[in-house]
């Protein structure tokens, strides 16, 4: 049985019935993993890793852009120095 809410027939008060260990510990249905099977976990982990790698690539591309710009400035200054000598 997956995590779900039920209500007490006498009081009408809603309560959570955990179906997975994560919800047993957190007492929050948002953490439910009942619907996930091992492939969902792997997919989620895989997607997280892809996101991290894409972020890293983006960061490195930006860093590379900055260094290329700096290198162009240095080259320009070196050429200027040469012409003044
Ligand atoms: Zn659950």
Q: What is the pLDDT of residues 2-21, one digit of tens each?
A: 999 999 999 999 999 999 99
Domain range spanning residue 7? Answer: 1-34
How far does the centroid of ligand 1 lie from the alpha carbon of residue 38, in Å? 14
Average pLDDT, integer, range 19-24: 93
Cα–Cα distance for residue pair 17/5, rounded to 1 Å: 6
How far does the centroid of ligand 1 lie from the alpha carbon of residue 35, in Å? 7
| Range 44-83 burial, b when 16+ CB lie within 10 A, else e | eeeeeeeeeeeeeeeeeeeeeeeeeeeeeeeeeeeeeeee
Residues 47 and 18 reside in one and the same domain? no
Residues 68 and 85 reside in one and the same domain? yes
What pLDDT does 61 receive?
98
Output the pTM of the full model. 0.48
How far does the centroid of ligand 1 lie from the alpha carbon of residue 33, in Å? 5
How far does the centroid of ligand 1 lie from the alpha carbon of residue 6, in Å? 14
What pLDDT does 39 receive?
76
Residues 27 and 40 reside in one and the same domain? no
How far does the centroid of ligand 1 lie from the alpha carbon of residue 63, in Å? 43
- Chain segment 34-84, per-residue pLDDT in tens: 877 777 778 888 999 999 999 999 999 999 999 999 999 999 999 999 888
Residues 7 and 43 reside in one and the same domain? no
What pLDDT does 45 receive?
84
What pLDDT does 1 receive?
85
Residues 6 and 20 reside in one and the same domain? yes
């Amino acid at each position: 049985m997956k995590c779900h809410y039920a209500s007490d027939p006498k009081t009408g008060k809603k309560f959570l019935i955990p179906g997975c260990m994560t919800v047993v510990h957190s007492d929050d249905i948002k953490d439910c993993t009942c619907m996930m099977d091992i492939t969902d976990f792997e997919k989620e982990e895989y997607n997280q890793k892809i996101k991290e790698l894409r972020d890293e690539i983006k960061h490195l591309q930006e860093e590379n852009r900055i260094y290329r710009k700096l290198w162009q400035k240095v080259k320009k200054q070196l050429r200027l120095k040469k012409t003044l000598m």
